Chains A and B, each alone.
Chain A
Amino acid sequence: MNKKYAPFMFLTPFLIFYIIFLLIPIFYAFFLSFHNWQGFGPFNFVGFENFLNIFQDEVALTALKNTFIMAGGTLALSLPISLLLALLINSDLLPFKGFFRVVYFMPRVIALSVSGVIFLILFHTDYGAFNYILRNLGLISDNIPWWQSSVYGKLGIILIRSWVSIPFMMIYFLTGLQNIPVELYEAANIDGANLIQKFTFITVPMLKPIALFVFITSTVFSFQIFTIPYMITRGGPSNGTLTIIQYMFSRGLNNFEFGMASAVSVVLFVFLAVLSYVQIKIGSRN
């Protein structure tokens, strides 16, 4: 192989797959989102009608609202907890750090489908161990109908998603903590700063960039939520846990409304791509 043509030979196989399975599909989604198409026949151009339909469809708005609640809830719960866990694991006072790091990371490797099976039963209304524990701790007096209520359903999904998200957030915070120069704390010690002062004036400001990065990455991750609610509640009861992805899924793959489904894809793509772009910018700055 000649040196002049070598790079193209090395690149071509990748580019072929890249074009067929990434570039064409994403352009196809944009194209379809402006058309009505049932999977056969001609494409009917409809302009922005599909996009307008999304924001006028009761079910779509419910799915959007649910997704925001579940993603927001997961972030609100798992960001502070993962920071606390990172602080705990990073502390010089903790023995067996390596062991705890491995244990805390474990949920990250568990398939979401497996988590779905576990929590379906763990959160069972009458026989679930979770309700049993809550009752014995005196936190509730009646069993919570986790998967029969749209409010508790969302809460249950937030809890499961937090269990899944905390490990990777924690690892990032841990890296952030380890990158803070020790000299800063030493200087603070000389000045007689206490633990809380050190946390507010050194740890928090030094962690800001990584916290922003974790926040955006988790948002991108959380808005694509699908597997857990799909497996456990199928989006019910009465669309109470329906996510935007499941909405797209049923519009496209059950109803064959590929224009509508693509419009949802495009909205999702634009929203998350902007977030990812910001994330990459932040990432490359650090």
Chain B
Amino acid sequence: MNIKINKLIYFILAVLVAIIIIFPLYWLFIGSIQKSGDIFAYPPNFIPEKVNLNNFLNLFERDIPFYTYFFNSVYTVFFHVLGVLVFSSMAGFALAKYNFRGKNLIFSVIIAGMLIPFQALIIPLFLVSQKLGIFDNRIALFLPFFAQPFAVFLMRQYMLEIPDSLMEAARIDGASELRIFWQIVTPIIKPAFAAVAIVDFVAAWNAFVWPLTILRTQSKFTLPIWLNALIKDPYVVDYGMMFAAALITVLPILIAFLFLQKQFISGLAAGAED
């Protein structure tokens, strides 16, 4: 009996906490499906009376419609993730499965990169990007992020587990090193690819400081800095539309999270945004 009451207390407590945690997201959701002014109704409507999708329709009718930003985000994230996966898996492979001079030094230097907080790189990275002629260019949104020390670390860790005999057998069969990497190693380390891809996907999709630094032309903006531009725009007081835009920004990540809960939670515990 006592245990049952305790269970109930724990459950109620957990539900209350869940409500507090979810409330801001719920507010975003109902704010975006109400008439624009209704978000400021007083007293607030905690349950919307009527569903209204005008906020979303308005996003299509802007000078630059929302799908431009959405496309920019998708384009950035695609190459961001692809680049990180390709370069970090190759580097991780070299460090895990070969012996060569300077290996430990190179590994230490790469790991030392994990000590650099990204914010400390903004100013010099901005100057380097200018020199390279990629300022205000969408390429700059992913190119500087191809080298991710944490990804190399993770890939190497996974590849250390691969038995050398597997590679030796392939070599005897005359397989080239590239082919060994491609046909034997990559299928085995799929979980590492998934982990790195998830962390990088979230980081790239949510990225704020760097796109803000490097982009000036609005048609090149990604979703997060478009939100920033909407807030800053003194002529936009349409909070319903702002909420709709924010919902669109967060929805892809939220859906992916709900499908891949375990992988998200284990992968994202480590990284953090600014």
Query: A interface vs B, CB < 8 Å?
Result: 1-4, 6-11, 13-15, 17-18, 20-26, 28-29, 32, 39, 85, 88-89, 91, 93-96, 100-122, 124, 126-127, 129, 132, 163-164, 168, 171-172, 175, 217, 220-221, 223-227, 230-232, 245, 248-249, 252-253, 258, 261-262, 265-266, 268-269, 272-273, 276-277, 280
Which one, B59-67, B186-194, B250-258, is touching chain A? B250-258
Q: Which residues of A contact B28 (CB under 8 A)?
A: 114, 117-118
Across the interface, B125 reaches (CB within 8 A) one of A17, A25, A107, A258, namely A25
Q: Which residues of B contact A24 (CB under 8 A)?
A: 124, 128
Interface contact tally, CB-CB below 8 A: 300
**Interface: B126 (CB within 8 A):** yes
B120:A265 contact, CB within 8 angstroms: yes
Whole-angstrom CA separation of A189 from B210 in the bound complex: 54
Across the interface, B253 reaches (CB within 8 A) one of A20, A109, A116, namely A109
Q: Which residues of A contact B88 (CB under 8 A)?
A: 14
From A108, which residue of chain B is reached at the shortest CB distance?
A: B268
Across the interface, A217 reaches (CB within 8 A) one of B122, B178, B272, namely B272
Chain A, interface SS category: helix
B7:A18 contact, CB within 8 angstroms: no
B123:A127 contact, CB within 8 angstroms: no
Known pairs A117-B227, A224-B119. 4 more at Cβ < 8 A?
A105-B264, A121-B39, A122-B24, A168-B268
Whole-angstrom CA separation of A205 from B103 in the bound complex: 39
**Interface: B82 (CB within 8 A):** no
Q: Mark B110-131, 1 if CB is under 8 A from A, else 0.
A: 1101111111111111111000
Contact A268:B120 (CB < 8 A) given known A117-B246, A231-B228, A273-B115: yes
Q: Which residues of B contact A93 (CB under 8 A)?
A: 3, 6-7, 10
Q: Mark B23-61, 1 if CB is under 8 A from A, else 0.
A: 011011001000000011111101000000000000000
**Interface: B78 (CB within 8 A):** no
A121:B243 contact, CB within 8 angstroms: yes
B253:A111 contact, CB within 8 angstroms: yes
**Interface: B206 (CB within 8 A):** yes
Q: Which residues of A contact B1 (CB under 8 A)?
A: none
B274:A113 contact, CB within 8 angstroms: no
From A266, which residue of chain B is reached at the shortest CB distance?
A: B120
Whole-angstrom CA separation of A116 from B110 in the bound complex: 34
- 10 sampled A-B residue pairs with Cβ under 8 A: A15-B91, A17-B147, A94-B11, A94-B14, A105-B261, A112-B274, A132-B43, A168-B272, A224-B118, A268-B119
Whole-angstrom CA separation of A224 from B208 in the bound complex: 13
Contact A245:B124 (CB < 8 A) given known A105-B265, A168-B268: no
Q: Which residues of A contact B109 (CB under 8 A)?
A: 23
B117:A273 contact, CB within 8 angstroms: yes
Contact A119:B24 (CB < 8 A) given known A93-B3, A113-B224, A265-B122: yes
Q: Which residues of B contact A121 (CB under 8 A)?
A: 27, 31, 39-40, 239, 242-243
The smallest C-beta distance from B236 to any residue of chain A, in angstroms, reads 12
Query: B interface vs A, CB < 8 Å?
Result: 3, 6-7, 10-11, 13-14, 17-18, 21-22, 24-25, 27-28, 31, 39-44, 46, 86-88, 90-91, 93-95, 98, 100, 103, 106, 109-111, 113-128, 132, 143-147, 149, 152, 171, 176-178, 181, 202, 205-206, 208-209, 213, 223-225, 227-228, 230-231, 239, 242-243, 245-246, 249-250, 253-254, 257-258, 261, 264-265, 268-269, 272-274
A114:B249 contact, CB within 8 angstroms: yes
Across the interface, B227 reaches (CB within 8 A) one of A8, A25, A110, A114, namely A114
A6:B21 contact, CB within 8 angstroms: no
Q: Which residues of A contact B122 (CB under 8 A)?
A: 245, 248-249, 252, 265
Whole-angstrom CA separation of A224 from B116 in the bound complex: 12
A114:B120 contact, CB within 8 angstroms: no
A21:B27 contact, CB within 8 angstroms: no
Whole-angstrom CA separation of A229 from B196 in the bound complex: 29
Whole-angstrom CA separation of A84 from B27 in the bound complex: 25
From A102, which residue of chain B is reached at the shortest CB distance?
A: B261
The smallest C-beta distance from B45 to any residue of chain A, in angstroms, reads 9
Across the interface, A20 reaches (CB within 8 A) one of B128, B213, B227, namely B128
B123:A252 contact, CB within 8 angstroms: yes
B17:A85 contact, CB within 8 angstroms: yes
Whole-angstrom CA separation of A266 from B119 in the bound complex: 10
Contact A6:B90 (CB < 8 A) given known A100-B14, A127-B42: no
Whole-angstrom CA separation of A1 from B90 in the bound complex: 14
The smallest C-beta distance from A196 to any residue of chain B, in angstroms, reads 15
From A168, which residue of chain B is reached at the shortest CB distance?
A: B269
The smallest C-beta distance from A127 to any residue of chain B, in angstroms, reads 4
Contact A14:B265 (CB < 8 A) given known A93-B7, A94-B14, A127-B40: no
A248:B227 contact, CB within 8 angstroms: no
A14:B231 contact, CB within 8 angstroms: no
A171:B27 contact, CB within 8 angstroms: no
Whole-angstrom CA separation of A96 from B14 in the bound complex: 10
The smallest C-beta distance from B3 to any residue of chain A, in angstroms, reads 7
The smallest C-beta distance from A121 to any residue of chain B, in angstroms, reads 6
The smallest C-beta distance from B94 to any residue of chain A, in angstroms, reads 4
